[in-house]
Amino acid sequence: MIYTLTLNPSIDYVVRLDSLVCGITNRTTAEEHYIGGKGINVSCILAQLDIKSTVLGFTAGFTGDAIEKGLCEQGIRTDFIRLNEGISRINIKIKADDETEINSQGPHISDEELDKLIEKTAMIGLGDTIVIAGSIPKTVPDDTYERILKGLEGKGVRIVVDATKNLLLNCLRYKPFLIKPNRQELSELFDAEVTNEIQTEKYARELMKMGARNVIVSLGKEGAVLFAENGKTYHSGTVKEKAINTVGSGDSMVAGFIAGYDQTGDYGYALKLGTACGNATAFLPGLATREKIEEILKKLSF
């Protein structure tokens, strides 16, 4: 089973307006809502590819119910810890002349509730995968990811981490199968300007020395580079089409890579399917659909 972790899931409420004026009542021209969270995005793409996964994390209140129901409708298993107080957050995305986001903090998570999550992850075992993605809410300690991974040490669990700065660095000793920094995240990790391919390779290989088995550095519309544990380097480009919304492209790429590797054991194909998923998300208003992924896959020439 593939488990994805989303500590602070959300309802993303997208409102569209011609223009936004502060201090008056504005009226929307359209509105949409999505279930948000990086781990959840990975599960949604896996579902499009007919791969089962279970979403772990915390939910609370009526928005928590909506998140669980929405995932269930997509055929995605959930095994959340229900929090006693508060509601799962609603993040507001205002699309007018500019894009403005208001992201909420989310409900309080007590030490006992966090312990329950750690206990739950103990069921993950040999042959399973855990995808740890995104930042952690303010109310849980910074070492939460490490605590989870420590509990899984030596159990034969495949680990995928898509996080930034120290959250990622501190996971490397657990030998993750895959990490996927984008170029900016790679720069931040080493406090350096990563602008060309030589630097990209240098720092990606540094992360491998620190424990990462495979590193994808994603480069937005320029594609991605995979430094694989078999010693080879793989490049991927993108399809020429207008990007509508690139949020979640990285998460989609992670899901596609996992799926492609599971289907074939081939790193080149895994990167190709990851690329198709990342592109498909960029070209649609929400996340990639199976139909769009298949369309892009046919167009990718590598």
Ligand X SMILES: Nc1ncnc2c1ncn2[C@@H]1O[C@H](COP(=O)(O)OP(=O)(O)OP(=O)(O)O)[C@@H](O)[C@H]1O
Give catalytic residues, as residue numbers: 251
Q: What is the binding site for Mg ion (CB under 5 A)? A: 250
Smaller CB distance to ligand X: residue 106 or 274?
A: 274
249 binds, among ligand X, Mg ion, none (CB under 5 to 8 A by kind): ligand X
- How is residue 38 written in tokens? 């990086």
Q: Which of 81, 251, 256, 297 binds ligand X (CB under 6 A)?
A: 251
Nearest residue to ligand X by CB is 250
Smaller CB distance to ligand X: residue 129 or 252?
A: 252
Cα 139 to the chain's mean position, in Å?
20
- How is residue 8 written in tokens? 């602070």
Q: Taking the complex as a whole, how short is the minimal distance between the CB of residue 138 and ligand X, in angstroms?
A: 20
- Our separate counts of H helices and E strands in the chain read 10, 14
Smaller CB distance to ligand X: residue 87 or 216?
A: 216
Cβ atoms of 206 and 245 within 8 Å: the answer is no
Helix (H) or strand (E) holding 216: strand 215-218
Q: Which of 4, 48, 63, 279 binds ligand X (CB under 6 A)?
A: 279
Smaller CB distance to ligand X: residue 151 or 220?
A: 220
- Asked if 175 interacts with ligand X (CB under 6 A), we say no
Q: Which of 61, 223, 268, 286 binds ligand X (CB under 6 A)?
A: 223
Region of 29-37, 55-63, 170-178, 277-285 interacting with ligand X (CB under 6 A): 277-285
- Partners of 179 in beta bridges: 161, 215
User: DSSP letter string over 70-127?
Assistant: HHHHTT-EE-PEEPSSS--EEEEEEESSSEEEE--------HHHHHHHHHHHTT--TT
- Partners of 217 in beta bridges: 225
CA-closest candidate to residue 271, choices 216, 222, 204:
216
Q: Taking the complex as a whole, how short is the minimal distance between the CB of residue 232 and Mg ion, in angstroms?
A: 23
- Asked if 220 interacts with ligand X (CB under 6 A), we say yes
Residues in contact with ligand X by the rule CB under 6 A: 182, 218-221, 223-224, 238, 243, 246-251, 253, 275, 278-279, 282
